[in-house]
């Protein structure tokens, strides 16, 4: 986990420079699913809510991969050998993991977060940092953003998450841990030190049992103790790098930026409907909306795609994926929609209504003006008309300035977008 703090991307350094120049206080959210795998399992086993439930592979040699809070009360935790967990909590209900489902829910949650801001750094399957500093004017106070995310995760995926808000990633992460389960904790910037100081040192990200023991021998038990300790003493006990890093964090000095993934191999969006939809105009509208969202993100990153993928899940939970690779890359909603619609038309739904539909853009290449490789792509076939691309790019600019509702095809009903939710309430 520790390495994550030291890595600073180019954009991150720029962000920090801007922060330093303007004196803006960063606002970071840490969003963390509660007992993620177990919570996902309980969606299909609601009768087990409130009971100790352990998710673990078959056989006595396996380890626990997740446990509900009721099972944790017996001392069960993830990575614990199955045999030990059985002894601690013999009455627990055991469920085998369904990793494909977890990956799918994770993907959906991350998509939801990226609809709030592109500044999302996923740190594991079920947690991510969001830098909302630049989004506060658009989306409202951080606490409101956090509560909206919590509501959307609950409604959209049937699981709960906890949100920590602070002026840095480390403070936000500690806050979400304190908010668990199903809570939100905001640490106002001017209360950061008051919040940190009474905590045990293992609350700091990266303090393991060994560091904890070494510091305890010096009488350093709380974060406040650590903050007040002379650096040479700490260096002798836990080494130079560790000492500098932990002492800075204990003093609330953590400028590590939220670094969004730079090397996305694909991007997309999907939606699970409250009520399954038959083939028809409503399904088509949903598809258009997903195409719009994903192509906006594509263009925002200066990318184009060569492959358009479609995923359809019918009411019987059968999932079909189709993809088509184009001769030349595209980035307009119109071009992607044409492909997605023809893929959908070719899917045999067996007369069943659709439960989930998703669009995925793959084979991403740098857009115009950035990559030399594009001249090769251009040679490969006809490109999208420049006028169309220019029109959609202009619409992106308007959306950036005035919000997502400013430019939309008239019939769209947006069910996915946080910004839109807010505007509807105004």
Between CA 211 and CA 202 the distance in angstroms is: 9
Q: Does 175 bind Mg ion (CB under 5 A)?
A: no
Chain centroid to Cα 247, Å, comes to 29
**Residue 226: count of CB within 10 angstroms of its CB:** 24
| Least distance between Mg ion and beta carbon 124 (Å) | 7
Burial of 183 (0-12, 13-18, 19+ CB in 10 A): middle
Residue with smaller CB distance to Mg ion, 13 or 43: 43
CA distances from 426 to 68, 116, 138, 139, 263 (A): 38, 18, 12, 12, 37
Q: Which is nearer to Mg ion, 109 or 145 (CB)?
A: 109
Residues in 112-171 at the binding interface with Mg ion, rule: CB under 5 A: 126
Question: For Mg ion, which is the closer residue by CB, 111 or 414?
Answer: 111
Q: What angle do CA 202, 204, 207 make, to 5 degrees?
A: 55
**Could you tell me the smallest distance in angstroms from the CB atom of residue 211 to Mg ion?**
22
127 is catalytic: yes
**DSSP 3-state of 10:** helix
- Tell me which residue has tokens 């359809």: 312
Cross-sheet strand order for the sheet of 354-366: 266-277, 354-366, 303-314, 319-330
**Contact map string, positions 239 to 268, toward Mg ion, x by CB under 5 A:** ------------------------------
Token pair recorded at residue 244: 């500098």
- Token readout for 331 is 């980035």
Interface segment toward Mg ion; rule CB under 5 A; list 31-39, 185-193, 307-315, 339-347 = 31-39
Report the b/e string of 22-46 with b at 16+ CB within 10 A: eeeebbbbbbbbbbbbbbbbbeeee
Residue 11 or 160: the one with the smaller Cβ distance to Mg ion is 160
* Residue of 28, 29, 32, 344 interacting with Mg ion (CB under 5 A): 32
Nearer Cβ to Mg ion, position 104 or 126? 126
What would the two tokens of residue 333 be?
């909603």
33 binds Mg ion per the rule CB under 5 A: yes
Contact flag: residue 377 with Mg ion (CB under 5 A): no
Q: Tokens 């010096």 correspond to what residue?
A: 218
- Assigned token pair, 77: 């935790």
What is the nearest approach in angstroms of Mg ion to the Cβ of residue 102?
A: 11
Q: Does 336 participate in binding Mg ion (rule CB under 5 A)? A: no
Tokens of 278: 């038959």
CB of 180 to Mg ion, least distance (A): 8
Q: Which of 41, 70, 104, 127 does the annotation list as catalytic?
A: 127
Q: How far is the CB of 71 from Mg ion (least distance, A)?
A: 15
Q: Give the nearest distance from C-beta 123 to Mg ion in angstroms.
A: 10
CB-nearer residue toward Mg ion: 153 or 357: 153
Site for Mg ion, rule CB under 5 A = 32-33, 36, 126
Would you name the residues annotated as active-site residues? 127
């Amino acid at each position: 986990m520790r390495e994550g703090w030291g890595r600073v991307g180019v954009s991150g350094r720029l962000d920090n420079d801007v922060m330093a120049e303007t004196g803006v206080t960063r606002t970071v959210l840490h969003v963390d699913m509660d007992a993620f795998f177990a919570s996902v399992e309980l969606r299909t086993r609601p009768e087990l809510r409130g009971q100790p439930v352990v998710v673990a592979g078959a056989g006595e040699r396996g380890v626990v991969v997740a446990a509900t809070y009721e099972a944790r009360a017996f001392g069960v935790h993830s990575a614990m050998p199955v045999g030990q967990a059985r002894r601690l909590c013999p009455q627990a209900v055991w469920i085998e993991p369904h990793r494909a489902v977890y990956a799918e829910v994770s993907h959906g949650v991350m998509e939801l977060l990226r609809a709030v801001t592109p500044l999302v750094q996923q740190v594991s399957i079920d947690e991510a940092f969001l830098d909302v500093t630049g989004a506060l004017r658009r989306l409202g106070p951080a606490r409101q953003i956090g509560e909206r995310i919590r509501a959307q995760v609950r409604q959209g995926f049937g699981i709960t998450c906890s949100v920590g808000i602070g002026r840095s990633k480390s403070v936000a992460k500690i806050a979400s841990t304190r908010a668990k389960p199903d809570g939100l904790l905001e640490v106002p910037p001017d209360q950061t030190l008051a919040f940190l100081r009474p905590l045990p040192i293992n609350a700091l990200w990266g303090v393991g049992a060994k560091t904890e023991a070494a510091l305890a021998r010096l009488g350093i038990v709380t974060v406040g103790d650590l903050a007040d300790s002379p650096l040479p003493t700490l260096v002798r006990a836990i080494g130079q790098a560790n000492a500098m890093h932990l002492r800075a964090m204990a003093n609330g000095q953590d400028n590590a930026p939220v670094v969004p993934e730079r090397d996305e191999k694909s991007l997309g969006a999907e939606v699970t409907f409250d009520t399954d939809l038959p083939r028809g105009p409503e399904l088509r509208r949903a598809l258009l909306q997903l195409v719009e969202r994903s192509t906006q993100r594509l263009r925002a990153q200066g990318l184009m795609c060569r492959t358009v993928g479609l995923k359809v899940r019918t009411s019987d939970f059968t999932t079909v994926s189709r993809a088509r690779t184009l001769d030349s890359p595209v980035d307009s909603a119109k071009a992607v929609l044409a492909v997605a619609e023809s893929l959908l038309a070719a899917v045999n739904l067996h007369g069943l209504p659709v439960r989930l539909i998703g669009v995925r853009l793959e084979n991403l290449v740098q857009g115009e003006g950035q990559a030399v490789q594009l001249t090769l792509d251009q040679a490969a076939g006809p490109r999208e008309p420049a006028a169309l691309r220019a029109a959609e790019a202009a619409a992106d600019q308007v959306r950036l300035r005035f919000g997502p509702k400013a430019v939309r095809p008239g019939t769209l009903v947006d069910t996915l977008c946080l910004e839109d939710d807010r505007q509807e309430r105004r």
